[in-house]
Amino acid sequence: MARNPFTPNFGQVPRVLAGRDQLIDEIVSAFDNAPGDPSLTSILIGARGTGKTALLSLLANEAESKGWLAVNVPCVGGMLEEIFQGTVKASSHLICQSDETKLTGLTIGQLIGLEWEAKPSEKPTWFLRMSALLDELDRRDVGLLITVDEVRPSLEEMGLLASYYQLFVRDERKVALLMAGLPSEVSLLLNDKSASFLRRASQYHIGDIGDADAELVLERTAEEGEKAFTPDALGRVVEACGGFPYLIQLMGYRSWQAAGNSSTIDVESAERGISRARSDFETRVLKATLDELSDKDLEFLCAMAQDRDESRTSEIAKRMGQSTGYVSQYRRRLLEQGVIASQGRGKVTFALPFLKEYLKEYLGD
Ligand SMILES: Nc1ncnc2c1ncn2[C@@H]1O[C@H](COP(=O)(O)OP(=O)(O)O)[C@@H](O)[C@H]1O
Ligand SMILES: [Mg+2]
């Protein structure tokens, strides 16, 4: 029997990825047009579960299939060294093979070390080591893609990377930098002086994928698992997941599972799948998210839940009996954690599906 083909895990590249064609086309063709293509420096911006990490992985694979090297790092301390070591590792095979006389048996790290042998006490800087490595890659016309996931403006190394990368771009090296992050983190990053170069990066906002694409994902993925939705069942699941990529996978997974040995996913299986997926989502994502919040954060969310759609910060402050300035610290923290999203002009909404509904149940317990 076929295995369940859905991928309800964060960071997993889905078997069928839909709704991102333009972004993928633009970035993949940028690899062919390097250097100089504006999409070589891009930021993917979106809420949790929209598919940023999956896209970074997919794009890294695409780059590799075009003969580039790809190094993927999360935005954490030690990131720069991770990038250097990752590039050494990815290129060692390439470089050892093609330059037999000098390089056989030596790692590029050692080679670069040799260049500074005259002054053994001074370790070459990250920038010099990386430049030497890029020289080797340039000689072989190999590009380097760096992906940085979950960007955090507070990490000093992020600003450093931006500055060094800017120098690589200025020198017309064949490099690309793709980043991904939550909207609030990205906007802080772009406002930070140390990373001002990144303001010129191409910005891709990724959100829900729309019903037609969700339908495509569900149908084609189920097919890979040798099952087919009935039209009614498909309609139910499409409606329930609201185009939210993570839920598409979760609801697809549970519906496929609920169909058991049958090759058809009917309405009954779909309904069981949807409700099972809802409770998975509540415990794995929503409860986990709310558990991390303070009482005041929760109070802020409760004040928001009274509105049908968007909420105004000034109104929330009134409901909490506090000043707008006082509640803005909770607003900021909730934005940073991806729990709420800014709609501009002091307005906010819930950033995760079903969060508003689940909040009552959570606090009732
Ligand atoms: N375009 C897409 N179509 C279908 N499923 C997707 C798509 N993008 C992401 N997914 C699925 O959605 C889930 C969340 O993706 P992930 O990349 O972890 O999101 P993020 O990094 O934005 O939190 C994963 O299960 C992934 O397989
Ligand atoms: Mg992610």
CA-to-CA distance for 110 and 221, rounded, in angstroms?
46
Ligand 1, closest atom to CA 13? Answer: 27
| Cβ(89)–Cβ(132) below 8 Å | no
User: 292: which residues sit within 8 A by CB, 6+ positions away?
Assistant: 337
Check pocket membership of 5 for ligand 1, CB cut-off 6 A: no
pLDDT of 102: 43
- Percent of the chain's residues with pLDDT above 90: 75
pLDDT of 280: 94
- The answer to the question of residue 16 being in a domain is no
* Site to substitute for ligand 1 among 13, 17, 48, 179, most atoms within 8 A of C-beta: 17
The answer on 201 and 182 residing in a single domain is: yes
* Site to substitute for ligand 1 among 6, 9, 10, 25, most atoms within 8 A of C-beta: 10
The answer on 270 and 258 residing in a single domain is: yes
pLDDT at 338 over 90: no
Measured over the CA atoms of residue 349, residue 355, residue 361 and residue 365, the dihedral's sign is: negative
> How does residue 364 score in pLDDT terms, banded at 50, 70 and 90?
confident
Return the ∠ at Cα 239 (arms to 18 and 347), rounded to 5°.
85
pLDDT of 105: 42
Which has more pLDDT, 125 or 271?
Answer: 271
CATH of the domain at 246: 1.10.8
pLDDT at 104 over 70: no
Domain boundary (205, 239, 259) is at: 205
Return the ∠ at Cα 325 (arms to 308 and 349), rounded to 5°.
25
CATH of the domain at 359: 1.10.10.10
pLDDT at 112 over 70: no
pLDDT at 278 over 70: yes
The answer on 180 and 139 residing in a single domain is: yes
Check pocket membership of 7 for ligand 1, CB cut-off 6 A: yes
The answer on 47 and 186 residing in a single domain is: yes
Query: How far out from the chain centre does Cα 102 lie?
Result: 40
| Cβ(133)–Cβ(84) below 8 Å | yes
Check pocket membership of 48 for ligand 1, CB cut-off 6 A: yes
Best-predicted range by mean pLDDT (116-120, 265-269, 291-295, 346-350)? 265-269
Cα dist from 23 to 27, 65, 98, 236, whole Å:
6, 18, 34, 29
- Number of structural domains the chain divides into: 3
Domain boundary (239, 270, 289) is at: 289
pLDDT digits 0-9 by tens, 167-183: 999 999 999 999 999 98
Which has more pLDDT, 31 or 123?
Answer: 31
Beta-carbon neighbours within 5 Å of ion ligand 2: 53
The answer on 76 and 155 residing in a single domain is: yes
pLDDT of 62: 97
Spacing, Cα 73 to ligand 2 middle (Å)? 12
pLDDT of 344: 83
CA-to-CA distance for 285 and 234, rounded, in angstroms?
24
Strand 347-350 and strand 340-342: the pairing is: antiparallel
What mean pLDDT is reported for the chain? 90
pLDDT at 122 over 70: no
pLDDT of 346: 87
User: 190: which residues sit within 8 A by CB, 6+ positions away?
Assistant: 198, 199
The answer on 281 and 157 residing in a single domain is: no
| Cβ(217)–Cβ(244) below 8 Å | no
Spacing, Cα 50 to ligand 2 middle (Å)? 8
The answer on 278 and 158 residing in a single domain is: no
- Which residues span the domain enclosing 310? 293-364
Domain boundary (205, 222, 248) is at: 205
The answer on 321 and 285 residing in a single domain is: no
In one-letter notation, the amino acid at residue 288 is A
pLDDT of 110: 57
The answer on 43 and 135 residing in a single domain is: yes
| Cβ(238)–Cβ(23) below 8 Å | no
Give the helix/strand (H/E) hosting 60.
helix 52-65
pLDDT digits 0-9 by tens, 187-234: 889 988 888 889 999 999 998 999 999 999 999 999 999 999 999 999
Q: Average pLDDT, stretch 272-283? A: 95
Ligand 1, closest atom to CA 149? Answer: 21
- Could you tell me where the beta strands, DSSP code E, fall in 258-324? 264-265, 311-312
Spacing, Cα 148 to ligand 2 middle (Å)? 10
The answer on 161 and 114 residing in a single domain is: yes
pLDDT digits 0-9 by tens, 6-48: 999 999 999 999 999 999 999 999 999 999 899 999 999 998 8
pLDDT of 306: 93
The answer on 187 and 86 residing in a single domain is: yes
